[in-house]
Structure 1
Amino acid sequence: MDRDRIEYLWICYINQTCSKAEKREFFQLMNEESTAEVVRGLLGRSFEEERDEVALKPALRGQILFGIIEQPEEVLVEPSKRVRFYWGAIAASILLVASFSLYWFSLSSQQEHMEQSETSERQIYSKGNVATLSLDDGTLINLDDHHGGIKVQTSGIAYENGESIADVGESGATIKWQTITVPQGGYYQIELEDGTKVWLNASSSLRFPSSFKGTTERIVELNGEAYFDVSKRNQHNIAKPFIVRSEGHDVEVLGTQFNVEAYKGQSSYRTTLVEGKVKIKKNGVQRILTPGQQATVGDAIQVRSVDVQEYVAWKAGDFYLQGKHLGSLIPILERWYGVQIECTEEATIERVTLQVSRNKPLNAMLKILQESIGVNYRIQGNKVYITK
C-alpha cells in the first residue's frame, strides 16, 4: 500500500479535483484492510485543521462516508468479515468526527452570536463630570466627578463648594497658566478669576491664567467647544476686553454670552452669539456679530443668522437638530459617547429633526434615529456601523 498515493488521492478528493479514474482508485484503496489506519489518520488531521479554520467541509465528509457505504458495484470488491469490521470502525470514526465537528462549528457560531448580542445590548453612556487639571508646574489633578465645576480664586483653585484643590497664587509679576481638559464623553464647568463662567463640552480644553490682574486683556485659549458667559468687569472694576483665542482666530467681547466650536483639525470654526456683541478677528479682518448670528471662520469669515438653540442646546443637556444631515451629528455622538462611527454615504445625507436628552445611552439614541429616519445600526465593541 502506497501511503503517499492515498494522501494524494485524499487531497484530490476533498478539493474536488479527482478524475473519474482517480475517484475509482480512491474508493478501491479505502476498501482495503491495510488502509484503515491511514484513513483514520487523515480524518483526525482534518479535524485538527478545522480548529484552525482549514476545515474539511461537512458535505464532503458525508460524500466520503456514503461513498464508502453506497459505492457502485463495479468499484466494490467482496470484503471479508474482517474488512467489514474495519469499515464499520472507519464509518463510525467518520460519523464521530463529522458529528463532533458539527458541534464545534455550532458552538463557535453560538458563542460568536452571543458575543455580538452582548456587545449590541451593552448600554453605552457618557462619562459625566470628568476632567483633569494641569497646573503651571506640571502637576496633574483628576477632578472629582462628584463636583460639577471649579472656581479660580486669588487664593487658588477650589471646587464650587469652596473645597480647595490647589494653591496657584501669583509669584511676583509672573502669571501662572493652568489647563483644564475634558475627555470624550465628559463635560465640566469653570468660573474664572474675573467671574466669567465657562462650560466645556466633550473633548475640549481651556488654558487660562490664575489671575487677570495687571493685564490689559483677559485672554484664554480654547481647543474644542465651550459656552462662555463673560463678566463685563473683573474684580478690580476695570473693563478689559475678554478674548478667546483658538485655531488662528480671536473672539473678542466685553460682556456677553456665546458659544465657540473650534476643535483642532476642523476645516472651519463657529462662534454663535446668544446675547451682547462679539468681534471676530482673523489675519487683520474682523466682523461684528449681533444676537442670533453665527460666524464661520475658515479661509474667510462668513456671517449668517441661525437657530441659536441648535448650537447651545448641549449646555442644557440636549441634542438638538432641525432638518440637518445625519453626517453633522456623527462627530457629536463620537465625542459624547467615546466611540467610532462608520456611516454609509446613503445614511449620512438623511435629514434629522430631534431634541433628545444627552443623558440617554447611545443605544437609545440610535434606536430613535432608526425609528425616525429608517437607518439601521450595529454596535461592535467601540465601533458603531450605521447603514440605510
Structure 2
Amino acid sequence: MNDINRYRELASKWLNGSITEVEKEEFLAWYKAHVDEQITIPSSFAKDETELKQRILSNVKASMQQSYTPKTGKIRSLTRKVRAIAASIITLAVLGVGYYYLSERKGEGVHIALEDVNPGKNKAILSLDDGSVIDLQEGGQGLIVGKELYYMDGTALESVLFTNGESESSLVTLSTPRGGEYQLKLPDGTRVWLNAASSIRFPRKFNQNKREVELLAGEAFFDVAANSVDGKKVPFFVKNREQLVEVLGTQFNINTYDKKLGVVTTVAEGSVAVESNNESYRHDRMVLAVGMQTIVNESGITKYEVDPEQFLAWKEGYFYFNDANIYTVLQSFERWYDIDVNYEVVRSDDLFYGKLPKNVTLDKALNILKTAGVHFELKNGRQLIIKNK
C-alpha cells in the first residue's frame, strides 16, 4: 500500500479533531480504494481495539454538534464517517463501533449520503389481462412484442404466461416506476420510450384497420412505423384522457406529468394531428409539423413553435432545463432518483438553465441548485429537504 504513513497521519488528525474538510475527503477516497486490505494498529493510536473504539466513539459524539461545511456541498452521516475511519485503521472493529453508536441513538434512521443516491435505470412491470404480472427489471433495455415476447437482447419471456385464453388482441400494460425507464417495440415495429413513472396500454396485436395505444400516465416518445394493408395506410393513434393524437408522420413526444399545465405534444419528425377530448373543443384539430408543440388543457388547444431538443433530451439521457423554476427541476429529480422533496422555502424566484446527464448520482445533479445558493439536506434515506437560504 502506498503512502500508508500519510493516511495514518490523517487518521490521527481525525481522531484528535485537527483534520480539515479537504483532508477528510482525501482520507475517505483512500479508504474506499483499500477497504478490503488488512491494516495493523499503530501503538500510537491505542493499546488495543477496545481502547481505539472508545477513542473513535468519543470523537464522533463530540462532532455530533458540528454542522457540515457548505463549501463541499456534501452531507455525510456521522455513522458513515465512523465506519470509514475505524475500518481503515482496524479493519473489522468498525462493526462494533457502528453497532454501539447506533444503539446509543435509538429511534433515528440510518441516513445515506447524497452521493449514494443512484440515478434511475431500465426497469418496468408488464401487466396482462389475465392478472399475470412480469417484473422486467432484469430484462435489459426493452421489450419486443409479437406472438411471443422477447427482451431486446433476444431472450424470450415465458410464453406460458400468454396461453390462459388470451386472444392476440388482449391488452397489455407496461409501467415504469419512479427511478425507472424502458423501451418497447410494438407488434407493428413502432418503438416507444417510456420515461419514469409512466404507463402505456396496447394490444398484443393490432387489427388491420386501426392501430391505437393509450398513454395512461407520464411521458413517452414514439417512433411510429409505417404500416399498410392492401396498399392502404393503417392509421396510428395515441389517446389519453385529455386528447387524441393521429400520427401523420413518425417521431413525437407526449408529456402528461404536469396536470395544471396540460398535455404537451412535441413533434421531432413528420407530423401529427391533435384533438382535444373536451366537449367544448372537440372540433378543434391542429396539425403539427417538426418544431411545433401543442398544450391541451381545460382551456382548449394552444400551438407553439419550440426547439424540440429541450423536450426530447430525457430520451437521450439528459435533463434539459430552460428557465425552469426550482419546483420543475426537483419534480424531475423526484421521478428519476425516487426521492421525496419537502420545502422549507415559501417561494423561490430562481430560474435554472442547463443540460445535465441523467446517469450521475443525486449530489452531482443537485449542483445546478448550488449555483443559485440553494441549501438542502437528505434525511431518512430519500427525503430531500430544501432549506431557506
TM range (shorter): 0.5 to 0.7
- Asked if 2 retains the 8 angstrom alpha-carbon contact of 1:169 and 1:210, the reply is no
Distance 1:344 1:229 in 2: 42
Q: Structure 1's 170 and 160: CA in aligned 2 closer, same or farther, altered over 3 A? A: farther
1:160 matched to 2:152: yes
Q: Following TM superposition, by how much is the alpha carbon of 1:122 offset from its aligned partner in structure 2, in angstroms? A: 4.9
Partner residue in 2 for 1:229: 223
Distance 2:230 2:329 in 1: 42
- Asked if 1 retains the 8 angstrom alpha-carbon contact of 2:250 and 2:269, the reply is yes
Partner residue in 2 for 1:68: none
Q: Following TM superposition, by how much is the alpha carbon of 1:232 offset from its aligned partner in structure 2, in angstroms? A: 2.0
- Asked if 2 retains the 8 angstrom alpha-carbon contact of 1:222 and 1:244, the reply is no
C-alpha distance after superposition, 1:148-198 (max 9, x if no partner): 011111x21111133211434897976211011100011100000011100
Q: Following TM superposition, by how much is the alpha carbon of 1:346 offset from its aligned partner in structure 2, in angstroms? A: 6.3
Q: Structure 1's 306 and 343: CA in aligned 2 closer, same or farther, altered over 3 A? A: farther
Which structure 2 residues correspond to residues 1-388 of structure 1 after superposition, within 5 A?
A: 109=64, 114=78, 119-153=112-146, 155-167=147-159, 168=162, 175-233=169-227, 238-263=232-257, 265-282=259-276, 283=278, 284=282, 285-299=284-298, 300-343=300-343, 348-370=348-370, 372-380=371-379, 381-387=381-387, 388=389
- Asked if 2 retains the 8 angstrom alpha-carbon contact of 1:232 and 1:254, the reply is no
Residue 373 of structure 1: SS of its match in structure 2? coil
Residue 164 of structure 1: SS of its match in structure 2? coil
The sequence identity of aligned pairs, in percent, is 32
Residue 203 of structure 1: SS of its match in structure 2? coil
C-alpha distance after superposition, 1:359-384 (max 9, x if no partner): 001111113320x2221111112211
Partner residue in 2 for 1:25: none
- Asked if 1 retains the 8 angstrom alpha-carbon contact of 2:210 and 2:236, the reply is no
- Asked if 1 retains the 8 angstrom alpha-carbon contact of 2:123 and 2:139, the reply is no
Task: Return the letter of the residue paired with 1:126.
Answer: P
Structure 1's unaligned 5+ residue stretches are 1-102
Residue 363 of structure 1: SS of its match in structure 2? helix
Distance 1:170 1:238 in 2: 34
Q: Following TM superposition, by how much is the alpha carbon of 1:130 offset from its aligned partner in structure 2, in angstroms? A: 0.7
Distance 1:192 1:250 in 2: 19
TM-score (structure 2 length as normaliser): 0.66
Distance 1:332 1:257 in 2: 23
* Larger RCO, structures 1/2 (Cα 8 Å, 6+ apart): 2
| Greater alpha carbon shift after TM alignment, 303-312 vs 203-212 | 303-312
Task: Return the letter of the residue paired with 2:305.
Answer: S
- Asked if 1 retains the 8 angstrom alpha-carbon contact of 2:168 and 2:203, the reply is no
Q: Structure 1's 236 and 355: CA in aligned 2 closer, same or farther, altered over 3 A? A: farther
Q: Following TM superposition, by how much is the alpha carbon of 1:110 offset from its aligned partner in structure 2, in angstroms? A: 6.1
- Asked if 2 retains the 8 angstrom alpha-carbon contact of 1:190 and 1:198, the reply is yes
Task: Return the letter of the residue paired with 1:310.
Answer: Q
Based on CA coordinates, which of the two structures has the bigger radius of gyration?
Answer: 1
Question: Which structure carries more helix by proportion?
Answer: 1
Q: Structure 1's 264 and 193: CA in aligned 2 closer, same or farther, altered over 3 A? A: farther
Q: Following TM superposition, by how much is the alpha carbon of 1:216 offset from its aligned partner in structure 2, in angstroms? A: 2.7
Task: Return the letter of the residue paired with 1:202.
Answer: A
Residue 290 of structure 2: SS of its match in structure 1? coil
Q: Following TM superposition, by how much is the alpha carbon of 1:213 offset from its aligned partner in structure 2, in angstroms? A: 2.5
Q: Following TM superposition, by how much is the alpha carbon of 1:239 offset from its aligned partner in structure 2, in angstroms? A: 1.5
Residue 356 of structure 1: SS of its match in structure 2? strand
Q: Structure 1's 347 and 279: CA in aligned 2 closer, same or farther, altered over 3 A? A: same
Q: Structure 1's 215 and 235: CA in aligned 2 closer, same or farther, altered over 3 A? A: closer
C-alpha distance after superposition, 1:320-364 (max 9, x if no partner): 112222222121111111111124556642111111100001111
- Asked if 2 retains the 8 angstrom alpha-carbon contact of 1:218 and 1:240, the reply is no
Residue 163 of structure 1: SS of its match in structure 2? coil
Structure 2's unaligned 5+ residue stretches are 1-57, 68-76, 82-110
Task: Return the letter of the residue paired with 2:118.
Answer: Y
- Asked if 1 retains the 8 angstrom alpha-carbon contact of 2:121 and 2:179, the reply is yes
Residue 113 of structure 2: SS of its match in structure 1? helix
Distance 2:185 2:239 in 1: 17
